[in-house]
Amino acid sequence: MTSSPSTTFGERFVSAVGARGPLCAGIDPHAALLRAWGLDDDVAGLERFALGATEALAPHVSVLKPQSAFYERFGSRGIAVLERVVATAREAGALVLLDVKRGDIGSTTEAYAEAYLDPASPLACDAITASPYLGFGSLEPMVESARRHGAGLFVLALTSNPEGPEFQHARTDDGALVADRVLDHLRRLNADAEPLGSFGAVVAANLADASGHDLDIGGPVLAPGFGAQGGTVEDLRRVFGSGVAAVTPSSSRELLRRGPDAAAMRDEALRLNDELAALRP
C-alpha cells in the first residue's frame, strides 16, 4: 500500500515562495536561444543550455518550469536531458512544474499522470500543466494522482494568446464562460485546503481584461507572460488584486537571454524577485 505524502503541493508552494520569492523560471531551450549562447541546435547544445540554466537558477527560485516540447523535439536523448533538468532542479530545492499541457481521456490521462506525477517515474515532478478542453472531468485521473502523491496540477483557464477566447470565452448552457467554469472546478477541488490548495490555474500576467472573473480559487496561479512578454508588476496587481500572494509569475527569456553567464542569470532572477516583493502582503 502506498503511504500518504507528508506534505501537499500547496503546502510546499507556500513554503518555497515564502523562502525564495514567487518567481517561476522557465527553462525553454528555443533554437534561437541556443544560437544566442553560441551553441549548436543539437542534443549537446540542449544539454549545455538546459543544465547550465538550471544550475544557475534552481537554487534561487521557488519554481522552475521546463517546457517539455523543447526537449521532446530531440527524441529520447532530449527526454534524457529533461530528466536531468528535473533531478538537478529538485536537488537544488526548487519545485519543478513541468509544462506539458496534457489533456486526454480515460487510461491515456491516467498514463500521463503516472508519467509525470508518480514518484516512481524518472520524470516525476512536483506539478504539471494540463488542458481541460475535453471536459474538466477528463482530468480526474490527474487529480487523483496529484492527491495520492502530494503533487499539483495547473489547469489552463485564461491565457493571453489571441486564439484563446474561442474556447475560454465560449458560454456553457447556463450562460457561464468556459474559463469561469474551469475556475469554479478548481475552487471546489481546493475547498478547505490550508494554507493553499494544490490545484492551480494558468492565467496570463498581462491579461487584457480580468474584470468579472473570480481568480481567487484557493490554490496557486501560474501567470505566464511576466517580463519579456510584457507583463509588469502593475499588471499583476491589476489582474489579481488581493489574491496576488498566490501567484507565481513566470519568466523565461528575461532570464535566459542573460546566459550563458550563470551569475548574470542568477542576478536577474534575484532582481525580479526583489521587484515582485512589492506584491507581498
Residues 30, 84, 90, 101: which is the catalytic one?
A: 101
- Looking at 3-7, 45-49, 153-157, 159-163, which range is the least confident one? 3-7
When mean pLDDT is compared across 75-89, 184-198, 206-220, the lowest value belongs to 206-220
Q: Is the pLDDT of residue 138 over 70?
A: yes
Residue 4 is predicted with a pLDDT of: 58
Nearest-10 Cα torsion for 57, 59, 61, 64: 60
For residue 165, pLDDT over 70 is answered with yes
Best mean pLDDT range from 103-112, 161-170, 207-216: 103-112
CA angle 20, 225, 169 (to 5 degrees): 125
Q: What's residue 2's pLDDT? A: 44
Q: Where do the domains of the chain lie, and which CATH numbers do they carry?
A: 9-278 (3.20.20.70)
Mean pLDDT taken over the chain: 94
Residue 101 known to be catalytic: yes
Confidence tier at 206 by pLDDT (50, 70, 90): confident
pLDDT tier at 162, thresholds 50, 70, 90: confident
Q: What is the dihedral angle through the alpha carbons of 108, 122, 13, 49, rounded to the nearest 10 degrees?
A: -110
Residue 9: predicted pLDDT: 98
The three three-digit cell numbers of residue 179, written as one number: 474559463
Residue-wise pLDDT for 54-98, tens only, equals 999 999 999 999 999 999 999 999 999 999 999 999 999 999 999
